[in-house]
């Protein structure tokens, strides 16, 4: 019991234990809220993130009526791939080039194409000699 009292005295700085612990918890809560607010401000809007990274995988359901310029593809029960519709349309044009699509497409599209290909969402159709989106 004596050791516990020493620890409490150290934490509380001479105040009654309950008051000092509550004050420390309030300080911790304030710091956590400040950090979370800063993180949200740094992340930017969904469109800003897509502009920076070409696509986003999120667990937020995106309403296409609210965001008509976004292409949203359900990946599994909780994740969605989100990119701009014009980016997806451009990617589909390059996919019609067949085997040389990866060599011809810009690096920005290649990132999205590689993600889709690695996750089995794009495949090469030997009969039509072009890539197809699942």
Is the entire prediction scored with pTM above 0.75? no
Residue 16: how many other CB atoms lie within 10 Å: 10
Give percent of the chain with pLDDT exceeding 70. Answer: 81
pLDDT per residue as tens digits for the range 5-25: 666 666 666 555 566 777 787
Q: Which of 6-10, 13-17, 41-45, 52-56 has the highest average model confidence (pLDDT)?
A: 52-56
pLDDT per residue as tens digits for the range 69-81: 999 999 988 899 9
How does DSSP assign 15-43, residue by residue?
Answer: S-HHHHHHHHHHHHHHHHHHHHHHHHHHH
**Whole-angstrom distance, CA of residue 46 vs CA of residue 10:** 46
């Amino acid at each position: 019991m004596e050791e516990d009292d020493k620890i409490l005295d150290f934490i509380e700085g001479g105040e009654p234990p309950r008051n000092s612990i509550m004050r420390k918890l309030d300080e911790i809560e304030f710091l956590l809220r400040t950090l979370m607010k800063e993180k949200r401000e740094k992340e930017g809007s969904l469109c800003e993130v897509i502009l920076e990274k070409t696509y986003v995988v999120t667990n937020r359901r995106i309403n296409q009526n609210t965001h008509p310029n976004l292409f949203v593809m359900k990946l599994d029960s909780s994740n969605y791939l989100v990119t701009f519709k014009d980016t997806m349309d451009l990617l589909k044009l390059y996919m019609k080039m067949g085997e040389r699509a990866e060599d011809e497409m810009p690096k920005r599209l290649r990132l999205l194409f590689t993600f889709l290909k690695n996750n089995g969402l794009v495949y090469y159709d030997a009969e039509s000699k072009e890539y197809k989106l699942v």
